[in-house]
A and B are shown apart, each in its own frame.
Chain A
Amino acid sequence: MKKLVMLSVAAAFAMQGGLVLAAGTPDTGPGCGLGKLAFQNYPNAKTKGAQVVMALLNGTGGNTFAISTGTSGCTDDGRVWAEQKVTMFAELNSNALAQEMAQGRGEHLASMATLLGVPQQHHSTFFGMAQTQYTSLAQAGDLSAGAMVKALNEGIAANPALAKVALN
């Protein structure tokens, strides 16, 4: 049933299309409708029969990332707009990102570093900074995706080794 939940959410995302820009949704990021893609906050429901059948068919919703079909939400022919990449990644992967920041390592954290322009050889510095930032964020009580991105950017700027090389 999770699949159904995901695809209905993605379908909702897809149907907004170009209207999203004009409407100015309250979701994070200008006009992305990303709040709706936050699967992790969606209520869960499950029936065994539906699950079995879903596994067989592997349905998915949405033309969000459909190839060569024009603009939809934050995507263009299926590719994410450059300026939205960081926000989108953080929002859609917030659980994984939070865990990896706290642990000071991980694929999502490394990917985030890459998106923020931190070169490979400085990743371990970035990881250490991220871990410290997590503690601050936790104590401030705001662990939203937006707050995480902000904290990471501030951490880069404040760290002389990172600020020099990050190509944001």
Chain B
Amino acid sequence: MIHILLAIIAFSGIPSLGLAEPVSHSYQHELVEQARQARLADEREWLLLLHYQDNFLGGVTSEEDDPGFFLSPHGKHDPQAELDATITQFFSADPVGRSKQPAQCAFIARYHWLKERLRFDPERLTPLSCERFDRWRAEMNPQGISLIFPAAFLNNPASMFGHTFLRIDQKGQTEQTRLLAYTIDYAADVPPDVGVEYAYKGIWGGYKGFFSTPPYYLKVQAYRDIENRDMWEYPLNLTADQIDRLLMHAWEMGNAYFDYFFFKENCSYHILSLLEYANPALHLRDRFSLWTIPADTVRAIVDSPGLVGTAVYRPSRSTIIKRKRVLMTGEEQALSNRVANSPDVIRDAVFAGLPTNRRAFILDVASDYLRYKGESDDPEVTVYKERNRAVLTERSKLSIPSEDIEIRPFTKQPDVGHRTSRVTLGGGWRNQDTFEEASFRAVYHDLLDPERGYTPDAQIEAFGVTVRHYNRAEQTRVERATLINIVSLSPIDSLFRAPSWKANVGMQTIQRNGCRLCSNGVFSGGMGGAVESALFKREVLYAFAEAEANISPAFHEYHRVGGGATLGVLADVTDRWKLMGSGSYLRYPLGDKSDEIRWYVGSRLTLAQNWAVRLDYHHRDRDDDVVCSIQAFF
């Protein structure tokens, strides 16, 4: 009786928010006790919802960095306290969190999970209606979820690491209307005028990362149109219930930010956390301890049995242009180039005399190219847009729809690529000595590594070390170390002209001036060009002008600085066998005045997705080095 009186007084005394105030303190204590008995705070689902990870002190800490995410002041380190506080807060309609909703709505995934496990009695804990969530979910209109992976873009090997986000596929969505779906994306909030601190802050968590839901068309525009990247869409097999869980947890994430750590807690890592809550049987993040590379997360997802359907390819504009051009005769290609340069060509008799569908195709390719140039950093952007307008006007007059052409990718899908880190075991000889060597490379892919699933002609290596034991010299030493070694080859053709470039910071072992085995620090960079040929299967010929600085006790004055040129060729002999050869001439006017000719020949044979055999031959002045090794990617 007294309980009912108290309830009535409490109910009438509180300013109404239009919501029923669920009051029942004893039931609250009952639930908290029940939860403790069932040890729910230890369960995987609770740990997933609160993003707890083991810490060094034997306990757990949540990766969440926004205090608004926790209902208990100790929530970040104490799952039990957070659970108690969460249950308690469900009894109130006070707005909490950054999203300013009652706890049942702000933390709707927690609510639904606890409701199910503790079998909430709706009489004693009144369920609140969560209109904002309901509207949001209705708008998302979920039928399925796809994982989207934008691949690398031309001329930027760093983008090989990729990015991942989710797309919420809508009911009634067709192949033609994927653009209208919403996405769930995790990204760092970076202020516009950012400079060098971008790298520093990105690595050490200086930026906040948020989840957001931009429409897919914006993502396609950003990645495919502006950055010119191929995209891969992996449909995920999740049940309706799992999709609901994912969406509810994503809604909760609106309350919070994580400090963005480029290496580990990046876009892909947090996307995995959503998938793990959708299906706690998935342990996708387990294999990522020090760093999370997006392409690796795609592999982790593909490795989960039954989780992924058939990947769908979405070509970048440059891929579209290249594939379409091949379908034109030489004359049509020339016409297309001329139209793009000067749309008046359309009125020429040569053009006008062609069949309508060929004219349409020529204009389409010209328009694709003008759009490509129009989105680039070319200063003549407005000129390209004008020309495109003229081309499209003429195109529309032809009154026939363009054919749908299947655009095949130049690379295989990224998950079939070799894994990220590499270890190598080998042996060989150098001058009058033989040696064994072992090496480790943290990331990522060099020009000779198996290219399946990777952007061709691009290299980015970082954090590598090679140790050798020379048998006659009886010396074990660090033979080579790589801090960063990037090469970007961009084959030039009549349409695509971008410079190739390279940069290298590392250390190697040289023989010079009486010193048999001397460490040498190397800093070099180069700019040049490349062309593609098809003598056998596919070759890329390249040339660089470069500058180099060496630091070593082997040199007079301990250093030398100079520059020169390199010519090289990278050749696909068969699907599994790739060859590389290069020759360099460098002259060093500063420090130890000298010059040098170098040769390199390398051969790689792929054994399996994550296994290869290499043969490398380096020649410098009276210094010949041959290594044969076996490589494993993991």
Q: Is B435 an interface residue (CB 8 A)?
A: no
B-contact bits for A87-121, CB 8 A (1 contact / 0 none): 00100110110110111111110110011000010
How far does the Cβ of B83 sit from chain A's closest Cβ, in whole Å? Answer: 22
Q: Is B111 an interface residue (CB 8 A)?
A: no
Please report the C-alpha to C-alpha distance between residue A43 and residue B101 in the assembled complex, in whole angstroms.
41
Contact B202 A57 (CB under 8 A): yes
Q: Is A56 an interface residue (CB 8 A)?
A: yes
Please report the C-alpha to C-alpha distance between residue A92 and residue B218 in the assembled complex, in whole angstroms.
8
Contact A107 B212 (CB under 8 A): no
Contact A60 B177 (CB under 8 A): no
Contact A80 B215 (CB under 8 A): yes
Please report the C-alpha to C-alpha distance between residue A98 and residue B61 in the assembled complex, in whole angstroms.
51
Which residue from chain A places its CB closest to the CB of B213 in the assembled complex?
A78
Contact A63 B210 (CB under 8 A): yes
Query: Within 8 Å CB of A96, what residues of B?
Result: 221, 225
Query: Within 8 Å CB of A106, what residues of B?
Result: 402
Q: Is B161 an interface residue (CB 8 A)?
A: yes
Query: Within 8 Å CB of A11, what residues of B?
Result: 191-192
Contact A134 B194 (CB under 8 A): no
Which residue from chain A places its CB closest to the CB of B251 in the assembled complex?
A68
Contact B187 A95 (CB under 8 A): no
Q: Is B156 an interface residue (CB 8 A)?
A: yes
Q: Is A6 an interface residue (CB 8 A)?
A: yes
Please report the C-alpha to C-alpha distance between residue A93 and residue B192 in the assembled complex, in whole angstroms.
23
Q: With A52-B156, A53-B198, A57-B188 in contact, is A92–B221 under 8 Å at CB?
A: yes
A-contact bits for B481-507, CB 8 A (1 contact / 0 none): 000001000000000000001000000
Q: Is A155 an interface residue (CB 8 A)?
A: no
How far does the Cβ of B495 sit from chain A's closest Cβ, in whole Å? Answer: 18
A-contact bits for B142-175, CB 8 A (1 contact / 0 none): 0000000000010010110101000000000010
Query: Within 8 Å CB of B187, what residues of A?
Result: 58-60
Contact B153 A55 (CB under 8 A): yes
Contact A104 B177 (CB under 8 A): no
Which residue from chain B places its CB closest to the CB of A134 in the assembled complex?
B396
Work out how many contacts link A and B, with CB atoms closer than 8 A: 227
Q: With A56-B161, A105-B404 in contact, is A67–B221 under 8 Å at CB?
A: no
Q: Is B176 an interface residue (CB 8 A)?
A: yes
Query: Within 8 Å CB of B101, what residues of A?
Result: 68
Query: Within 8 Å CB of B104, what residues of A?
Result: none
B-binding segment of A20-28, A125-133, A160-168: A125-133
Query: Within 8 Å CB of B250, what residues of A?
Result: 67
Please report the C-alpha to C-alpha distance between residue A110 and residue B222 in the assembled complex, in whole angstroms.
20
Please report the C-alpha to C-alpha distance between residue A41 and residue B139 in the assembled complex, in whole angstroms.
30
**Which interface class (under 10, 10 to 19, 20 to 34, 35 or more) fits A?**
35 or more
How far does the Cβ of B19 sit from chain A's closest Cβ, in whole Å? Answer: 18
Please report the C-alpha to C-alpha distance between residue A62 and residue B156 in the assembled complex, in whole angstroms.
25
Q: Is B374 an interface residue (CB 8 A)?
A: yes
Q: With A57-B202, A61-B189, A138-B393 in contact, is A103–B136 under 8 Å at CB?
A: no
How far does the Cβ of A41 sit from chain B's closest Cβ, in whole Å? Answer: 9
Q: Is B313 an interface residue (CB 8 A)?
A: no
Query: Within 8 Å CB of B156, what residues of A?
Result: 51-52, 55
Please report the C-alpha to C-alpha distance between residue A66 and residue B202 in the assembled complex, in whole angstroms.
20
Query: Within 8 Å CB of A68, what residues of B?
Result: 99, 101, 106, 132-133, 136, 251-252, 254-255
A-binding segment of B178-186, B426-434, B559-567, B617-625: B178-186
Query: Within 8 Å CB of B381, what residues of A?
Result: 44
How far does the Cβ of B262 sit from chain A's closest Cβ, in whole Å? Answer: 5
Contact B400 A93 (CB under 8 A): no
Contact B202 A79 (CB under 8 A): no
Please report the C-alpha to C-alpha distance between residue A56 and residue B101 in the assembled complex, in whole angstroms.
35
Q: Is B364 an interface residue (CB 8 A)?
A: yes
Query: Within 8 Å CB of A139, what residues of B?
Result: 393
Contact B198 A107 (CB under 8 A): no
Query: Within 8 Å CB of A60, what residues of B?
Result: 185, 187-190, 212
Contact A55 B402 (CB under 8 A): no
Contact A57 B222 (CB under 8 A): no
Contact A77 B218 (CB under 8 A): no
Query: Within 8 Å CB of A104, what residues of B?
Result: 396, 399-402
- From B211, B374, B377, A45 is in contact (CB under 8 Å) with B377
Q: Is B280 an interface residue (CB 8 A)?
A: no
A-contact bits for B49-92, CB 8 A (1 contact / 0 none): 00000000000000000000000000000000000000000000
Please report the C-alpha to C-alpha distance between residue A11 and residue B267 in the assembled complex, in whole angstroms.
19
Contact A46 B371 (CB under 8 A): no
Query: Within 8 Å CB of B262, what residues of A?
Result: 56-57
Near A by CB (< 8 A), chain B positions 100-143 give 100-101, 106, 132-133, 135-136, 139-140
Q: With A11-B192, A59-B207, A66-B211 in contact, is A98–B180 under 8 Å at CB?
A: no
How far does the Cβ of B523 sit from chain A's closest Cβ, in whole Å? Answer: 16
How far does the Cβ of A109 sit from chain B's closest Cβ, in whole Å? Answer: 9
Q: With A11-B192, A79-B182, A135-B396 in contact, is A128–B401 under 8 Å at CB?
A: yes
Contact A107 B392 (CB under 8 A): no
Query: Within 8 Å CB of B375, what residues of A?
Result: 2, 40
How far does the Cβ of A15 sit from chain B's closest Cβ, in whole Å? Answer: 11
Contact A105 B402 (CB under 8 A): yes
Contact A64 B198 (CB under 8 A): no
A-contact bits for B189-213, CB 8 A (1 contact / 0 none): 1111111001100100001001111
- From A8, A98, A124, B192 is in contact (CB under 8 Å) with A8
Contact B222 A77 (CB under 8 A): no
Q: Is A3 an interface residue (CB 8 A)?
A: yes
Contact B214 A64 (CB under 8 A): yes
Q: Is B227 an interface residue (CB 8 A)?
A: yes
Contact B189 A69 (CB under 8 A): no
Which residue from chain B places its CB closest to the CB of A8 in the assembled complex?
B192
Contact B182 A63 (CB under 8 A): no
Please report the C-alpha to C-alpha distance between residue A131 and residue B399 in the assembled complex, in whole angstroms.
7
Which residue from chain B places its CB closest to the CB of A55 in the assembled complex?
B159
Near A by CB (< 8 A), chain B positions 345-404 give 360, 364, 367, 371, 374-379, 381, 388-389, 392-393, 395-397, 399-402, 404
Which residue from chain A places its CB closest to the CB of B381 in the assembled complex?
A44
Query: Within 8 Å CB of A95, what residues of B?
Result: 225, 371, 374
- Given A61-B192, A107-B179, 13 more A-B residue pairs with CB atoms under 8 Å apart are A3-B227, A39-B221, A56-B199, A60-B185, A61-B189, A62-B212, A68-B132, A68-B255, A99-B388, A107-B178, A111-B179, A123-B176, A132-B399
Nearest 7 Cβ contacts at the A-B interface = A68-B254, A8-B192, A59-B190, A67-B254, A104-B401, A110-B176, A102-B392
**17 cross-chain CB contacts under 8 A:** A3-B227, A4-B190, A44-B377, A48-B501, A53-B202, A56-B158, A60-B185, A62-B212, A67-B136, A67-B254, A68-B254, A78-B213, A78-B254, A79-B136, A99-B371, A131-B396, A131-B401
- Chain A residues close to B by CB (< 8 Å): 1-4, 6-8, 11, 39-40, 44-46, 48, 50-70, 76-80, 89, 92-93, 95-96, 98-99, 101-108, 110-111, 114-115, 120, 123-124, 127-128, 131-132, 134-135, 138-139, 143
